[in-house]
Every structure is written in C-alpha cells, then in structure tokens.
Amino acid sequence: MFTSLRKLAHRSLRPAVAAFVTAAVLAPALSGAAAKKAPRRDFPPTTSYTTIEGVDPEAPYSRLRFAPGWKRVIRSDLGASPVRGRHKRRDSLVYFAQLSDFQLADEEGPARVEALDLGGTPFTSAWRPQEAFGPQTVDQVIRQINRFEDSPIRHRRSRHTKMAAVITTGDNADNQQANEVEWTVKLLEGGRLMPNSGVDAPGCGPVGEAQRYTGVQDFGDTLESGQFYDPDRPSGPFAAWPRYPGLMDRAQRPFNTPGLKVPSYVAFGNHDGLVQGNAWANAGFEAVSTGCLKPLQSGGLGSSALFTSPDRSVLVPPDPERRFVDRKEYMDLHVTGKQADAHGFALVDPQETAASGGQASYYAFAPRKGVRMISINTVAEGETIGSEGNLDDPQFRWLERTIAAAEKAGELVIVFGHHPIRSLTQNSTDEDVPPCDDRRTAGPGCDGDPRTSTPLHFGPDLQQLLLDHPAVIAYVAGHTHEHKITPFQRSGGAPGGFWGIETASEVDWPINSRLLEVMDNRDGTLSIFGTAIDHGGRLDAPAPGKDAKGFSEEQLAAIAREFAFNDPQVGGKGKSMGGSGKPEDRNVELLLPDPR
C-alpha cells in the first residue's frame, strides 16, 4: 500500500539554513545519485526537505538540531494505483493549509487547573512548560504559512497553485475565555496583540502586579514551588532545564503580528466550548475565572478543582476578559469586518441560525470552483466530563442535505472538524445542562439551542454518511495532536472511499501544520498531497542564563519549540516522537478514484 518517494529539495528563504541543510542533510541523502533540478521558485524548507530532532534525547534536557527530512509516501489503500507520468498531466483543484490546536492559554487565569497535571492524574494538557509562548509561536506559524502562498508541489507546465484558504480545525482557545478567542482572531487577521491579562484591583494583590506574570511558573507567586518549571530558578523535575531570568514577564509584552494573506475558516474544538476542554461552563466556574482568587488545590475537574479553601489559593489580578464565551459570542468575536464572512460563521444557513436560537455554527463554502468545504461542530456539550465529541441530530441532518446538494452539483467535498472519527464517542447531550432562561445564574455553558439534540451521532455514523456519498474525498480533523492518516474504504473492498487526515498541533511537539492540495491526475484518479511544515522561526534557542528582557518574539517561539520537545508528558523524546506519527502519516500522496 505504501510507496516511498525521494524527497524533493526546496531552496530555503534563508541562505544560512540552505547552506547547512545542503551540506549536512542533502549530501548524505543523495550520495551516489544525481541531484535533482532545483525548483524555479524559492520556498522555505518543508519537512520533506529537513526536519528537527533532539541533539541528545536521552539527556534530562536536550537542545535541537536539523535532521534529514521525512520522505513522501504514496498511499493507494483506496484502490487507486499510481500511474507513471501523472506529474506531467495533473491539474490542481484546490490548495489550502490546515492549522490545528493552537490552545492559546491565558496562563495567568484563575480558572486554569494546572494542579490536575500533577500526581498521576489522567489529565496531561492542563499545563505545559511552553504555554506562555503560544501567541508568539502561532505568530511564527502564520508567517510560515504566508511564505507558502504558492504551493510547493508543481502540476503540469510547472505551475504552482495559489493558496485558496486556511482552515483551523478547533481548539484555538485553551479555556473557552474571551481574551483567548480575541488573541486567535488577532493572529488570523493581523494587528497589535497583547498577550498579558489581569488588571490591578483593590484587595487583589500588590499594585503593578497586573503588568507582570502571575502564576505557577513563578515560585514567588504560588505554593507549588518545585512542581512546575520556573525559568528564574529551575528545580525539581526541571532542574536540568535552562535558566532564563525574566522569561515569564517577557512573554507578556505586546507585539505586532501580520495575519494571514488568505481567508481563514474556523471550526469549534472542545477547548473553545468547554472549561479546560472538559467541563460545561457554569456560573460558579465563571466567577472564579474573572475573579482574583486562584485555587491551587488538586482535585477532579467539576468537583474541588475550582472551589477550594483560601489557604490553598493565591491572589491574582482579576480580568473581566477572562469570562467564558458561549457559542454565539465565540462566533460574534470573529465579526471584525476584516474578513467579510467572519471566518465562515457568516455563512451559517439562516434557517439553521433561526431554528437553533443563534447557536448553529456549521457552514459550507466553495474555495474553488468544483470543490465544497464543509465545517462541522463536533463539541459534545453537556454535563458529562470529557473531551471527546459527537454530532447532534439537527446538525447531522443538515450535513446530509449539504453533501447531497454538493454531489448533485458535481462538486468534490472536503469535510473538516475538530474530532476525528475515532474520537466521536462521547454520549453527552445539550439537554443535560440547564437551559439559558437566565444566563447569569445558569452560566455560559447553558443549553441555548431549543432543538432536540438526540439521537446523537458518533464516529461510525459519520463514517457511514461520508461513505454513502462518493463525492466526499476527505475528512480533515485535529484534536489528537498527532499526524495520522486513515483510509476509510467502501464495504466489500470496493474501490473508493475517503481519507481521514489528522494533523499535529501548534502547541505540542512537533508543532507542525499541514499543506494540502487536491490534484486531478487526468487518468481517473485524484491525489491529495499532504506536506507537514514547521513554524518559520529560528531553530536555536538563546543560551541558558541570558536575561530574557531582550529576547525577540522569534526567540520566544524557538524556546517554545525546544520546551515542547522536552515536555516530560507529551514531548518528542522516546519512540513515540510526540505527535510526529509514522512515516505514512506525515508527508503523503493519497490516491483515490475520481468520483466525478
């Protein structure tokens, strides 16, 4: 099923990087073989050209270095075989990029439950050592996407297609907070971004504290000394990590971000719609989030985690922008006038909006003639604690109708959402939580949709629906923070089906995005090219011991990448390589019969 392709070399935008990779990577890789003709245009290196690895993965803390690229793998699991010479015939149908799981965290917020990451609990995403540098990292991600405005894959006559759109497959925010959503929109659209939060208030800590970092990564602020990474004085499990005096305060400074050059389209993730991606936002949780008493008690989410005694709490500057947003406010925050369709939310069917009381958040659009992209909301909103997803019945019926209409019009269909099919398992309904008769008492997680959500639909239901329509060629998702490609074939081994595409996150190792392009091979088959790319910032983090006051945003992103590799829970050490996946999940050409 798998055929290896020798990786294509692209010249770097940075001569120093190009020289290094040519000498250290390409020469050994191409030893004994003739070098391929260089492309006509300059592109930054994709991961098919060079990747990043730890210098000493067995060490308590490892720096990073360049490594040989991931070869492109041709996959023919769906019954379409590669035909020689197709690169001379193929036409591009659509070229777009996928970003997933920014998880932009207001790391100073009182409703953060970092203590859940301690003591062997099943929660492994309540705290990350690199989370304070999320905005700076995503800034470098977006700058890199802009460098790939032209596709790195050539089609006939050596043309490079212009990017049509960027999709974000959920979890842009980390804790359902308004300020995290506002940061997301600013990064997508460009402008001045303030990553700090908190305002000085009487009785909520010393005057001026709001201008500095306050949280578990400053042992002077909390009672949890030694259990988290404090860059001013690393200790405990982080004793071997670099010391960067003033790093957490440096991360709070505002900076300018360019925004994307092409339209972007947003799907909901569980961290966008649930507290810490797991619990519905009741009024008590929101009072903690906007207040100035930060709990430090370790306990189960939904029980004692956000409600604890004063002797296990610390004072922090409060902030009304830490309020939890409901689905409607989340969509409204994307209405800025800079993108006319509000990143897709202005495209919601008016009938669905009316029937749902303004809660419907799924939509469809055509980035190119002949291609229909459909965004779905897979967040399981309800009383059950959990991060997995489902589809309620009204949305599922809309999806059926929308795919059928696209198929009738002769369009190819690409569906995208947050949870992959294997994660659509949560049996939790909107009706499990109180209705929004009084949002102030019920909280922003109340049920504002008057429609009945049942019967719920899970992974097998979505899989069968997509298989029932040959026009569907892919379902693109995030959530798992790993590269994974799954073929979904028609029953009985008949040719055809669709590809499930999961892409790693922008917060955990390897911090990758994915370029996707659909090609018509003009031989009865289609190819979906998937190419992973690193963020565009520098590789080398500053030397340990340097005062962080003078660090640039690009250096903060370099530190974040290095911290992500060394993260003791989900880093890149060991055989798992974090979310890098297997070779057949990374850089791929996915073949399938052309259903048209």
pLDDT tens for each residue of 459-515: 999 999 999 999 999 999 999 999 999 999 998 878 899 999 999 999 999 999 999
pLDDT at 10: 34
CA distance 501 to 478: 8
Q: Please report the sign of the dihedral spanned by the C-alpha atoms of residue 382, residue 387, residue 389, residue 394.
A: positive
What value does the mean pLDDT of the chain take? 89
pLDDT above 70: residue 232: yes
Query: Is residue 330 scored above 80 in pLDDT?
Result: yes
Look at 307-311, 386-390, 450-454, 582-586 and tell me which has the smallest mean pLDDT: 307-311
2/353 Cα distance (integer angstroms)? 44
Whether 100 shows a pLDDT value over 90: the answer reads yes
What digits encode the pLDDT tens for the residues 525-535? 999 999 999 99
Residue 359, CA atoms < 13 Å, CB-side half-sphere? 23
pLDDT of residue 19: 37
117: confidence class by pLDDT, cuts 50, 70, 90: confident
pLDDT beyond 70 at 576:
no
Check whether the bond before 320 is cis (ω within 30° of 0). Answer: no
Average pLDDT over residues 196-222: 90
CA distance 582 to 577: 9
What pLDDT is attached to residue 268?
A: 97
How wide is the angle at C-alpha 416 spanned by C-alphas 423 and 533, nearest 5°? 95
CA separation for the pair 530, 588 (Å, rounded): 5
pLDDT of residue 313: 80
In this predicted model, what pLDDT tens digit does every residue of 348-363 receive, in sequence order? 999 999 999 999 999 9
The pLDDT confidence band at residue 74, using thresholds 50, 70 and 90, is very high
pLDDT band at 440 (very low <50, low <70, confident <90, very high): confident
- Whether the predicted pLDDT of 310 surpasses 70: no
Q: How far apart are CA 404 and CA 398, in angstroms?
A: 10
Cα(488)–Cα(497) distance, integer angstroms = 6
Share of the chain above pLDDT 70, in %: 88
111, containing H or E segment: none
* Residue 121 banded pLDDT, cuts 50, 70, 90: low
Mean pLDDT, range 210-231, rounded to an integer: 83
Q: What is the pLDDT of residue 479?
A: 97
Provide the pLDDT for residue 116.
77
Q: Is the dihedral of CA 186, 187, 192, 195 positive or negative?
A: positive
